[in-house]
C-alpha cells in the first residue's frame, strides 16, 4: 500500500475536505482519505489500480487541483 500527501490550495473548509474524501473514496484502490483545511493537505492511502496520476487527475476534474 502506498501513502501520499497532496497539497490542494482550493481547500478552505471541512465541506471541501468532505467533497474530496467522497470523490476519492469512490476510486478503485483508494483505501483511506484524510484532509485538513488548515494545512490544505489531503493524505491518501491506496493500492493499484489507483496511482498518484489518477488521483491528481480526479482532483483536477472536481476542481481541487494539486499544487
Q: Which CATH number belongs to the domain containing residue 57 in this structure?
A: 3.30.70.100
In a domain, 53, yes or no: yes
In a domain, 56, yes or no: yes
Give, for 23, the enclosing helix (H) or strand (E). helix 14-25
Which grid coordinates are listed for 50?
A: 489507483
In a domain, 67, yes or no: no
Distance CA 4, CA 50 (A): 12
In a domain, 66, yes or no: no
| pLDDT of amino acid 13 | 95
Phi and psi for 9 in degrees, rounded to 5?
Answer: -60, -25
Q: How many CB atoms lie within 10 A of CB 18?
A: 12
Domains contained in the chain, number? 1
Q: Domain limits at 13?
A: 2-61
**pLDDT 10s digits, 20-55:** 999 999 999 999 999 999 999 999 999 999 999 999
For the question of whether the overall pTM of this predicted structure is more than 0.85, the answer is yes
Are 20 and 58 spatial neighbours (Cβ–Cβ below 8 Å)? no
| pLDDT of amino acid 23 | 98
In a domain, 49, yes or no: yes
Amino acid at each position: 500500500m502506498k501513502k501520499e500527501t497532496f497539497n490542494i490550495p482550493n481547500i478552505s473548509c471541512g465541506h471541501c475536505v468532505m467533497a474530496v474524501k467522497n470523490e476519492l473514496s469512490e476510486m478503485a484502490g483508494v483505501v483511506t482519505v484524510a484532509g485538513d483545511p488548515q494545512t490544505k493537505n489531503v493524505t491518501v492511502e491506496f493500492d493499484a489500480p489507483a496511482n498518484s496520476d489518477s488521483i491528481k487527475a480526479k482532483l483536477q476534474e472536481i476542481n481541487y487541483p494539486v499544487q
